[in-house]
Amino acid sequence: MTLYQLFYLVAAFCFIFALKWMSHPSTARRGVFSGEFGMLLAIVGTLIRADMINYELVIGGLIVGTAIGIPIALLMPMTAVPQRTAISLSCGAFASTLIGAAEYYKIGPRPAFTNGALMVEILLGALTTTASLMAFGKLQEILPGRPMVFKFQNYFNLGVLAVAAVIGVYNVASPGDTHLFPVYVALAGTFGVLLIIRIGGADMPTVIALLNSYSGLSSCAMGFALDNKLLIISGALDGSSGLILSIIMCRAMNRSFSNVLFGGFGQLQASTAGGKDARPVRSASPEEAAGILADARSVVVIPGYGMAVAQAQHKIRELHDVLTKRGVEVRFAIHPVAGRMPGHMNVLLAEADVPYDKLIEMEDINGDMGMTDVALIVGANDIVNPAALNDPGSPIAGMPILDAYKSRTIMIIKRGMSAGFAGIDNELYYMDKTLMLFGDAKSFVASLVKEIGSNHD
């Protein structure tokens, strides 16, 4: 075994342990370090390979990538992690596409299997590149968050993919004829755009996980094309873990892959445009809400994407602290698809140093909601909408929700009465025991902390 192969072997074990350790909060930091160390070994192992031809280009690329990556890591706020993840996936997939294209244009005979692996790599790489960019646009609200739907869209999308597949087979059978290769890459990239534009913001957690899987599978195919064992292992780990996570997310929403990819979830429903906007709701001031919270015995905080947008996680932690000092039991109910990426709420609350044992998964806390004095919903909507349970015609029918409606008092911090990602009204707003706390989440929670701390000692 050569030295670079030893480095690759150790790196592969580091990647495997990284996935294992990152599956639990207590070992997650160790898992991150393991993955980083494994990647360092992989880079060093590549640099010492005997077939390394041009050190200048490789080292130049490392310097440019480092110069871009460090500022992103240091300056990117935690609330923008989903966007950063999408961009990272796009960069990795684009690199796979470029490497595959360079390999394809090399002169010389190649086995049909290698050509096939190249076509798979380029297809997945190109569609993941454009799909991730579209996901970034939706997450950053540069593009509309709701699905862009047109007539016969699914047939058109599948047609584009089918034509690309036919060209890919032709490229494998006739590797010397390269005139259709640019068309193949363009169709793959176009399919990536078409795949994402019809997906609404509510499905972004699943989409991010699925794109991560595509990126990993592209790297795995690259490993077969380049006969690189480490790429095969790391790509397979990335691809399989992303796929498993996507399946878990779909189960959490009680939906299938086909429904996520082709269902157009998140279209504005006609039912939201009628007279429901004029229905009366009960609202409360910070002073009134603070009094209710201070007198409660148990409070369950339900965070959603609105908390991330307002960057209210640190104020939420302060609210937790001030209520806990008064003897109030405060817990956080975490829905699997709250936010814009898997674990989004966990990451934000961990950043604010909220004790991890206070973060309770949906299936573990729903049984306690009926005995909870106050459910405080911060920027969440569809994941607490009772329509998922009692309206068979609702777009979110069958989706498991947090049972906030069972609590004795429900308080919802929200800027206005707008619908969530699913584009439907929320009956929770109009319940007799619901109080709407209108305003920016960060500012409102800060007012709650001030009121509880100063007036309820």
Q: Which residues are catalytic?
A: 382
Residue 146 and residue 200 in contact, taking contact as beta carbons nearer than 8 Å: yes
For CA atoms 249, 26, 13, 50, give the dihedral sign.
positive
Q: Under 8 Å CB-to-CB from 398, ≥6 apart: which residues?
A: 254, 255, 388
Rounded distance, CA 220 to CA 198, Å?
28
Number of C-beta neighbours around residue 236 at 10 A: 16
The residue type found at 4 is Y
Rounded distance, CA 118 to CA 156, Å?
25
Residue 339 and residue 274 in contact, taking contact as beta carbons nearer than 8 Å: no
Residue 282 and residue 434 in contact, taking contact as beta carbons nearer than 8 Å: yes
Rounded distance, CA 230 to CA 233, Å?
5
Rounded distance, CA 15 to CA 10, Å?
9
Residue recorded with tokens 């169709």? 187
Chain CA centroid to CA 82, Å: 6
Q: Tokens representing 257?
A: 């892959």
Rounded distance, CA 215 to CA 132, Å?
10
The residue among 301, 351, 352, 304 whose CA lies nearest residue 328 is: 301
Strands (E) in 77-151, as ranges, are none
Residue 96 and residue 124 in contact, taking contact as beta carbons nearer than 8 Å: yes
Diameter of the chain by CA atoms?
Answer: 81
Rounded distance, CA 147 to CA 31, Å?
36
The one-character DSSP state at 407 is S
DSSP string, 354-394: --GGGEEEHHHHGGGGGG-SEEEEES--GGG-THHHH-TTS
Rounded distance, CA 444 to CA 283, Å?
13
Burial level of 122, CB count in 10 A (0-12/13-18/19+)? buried
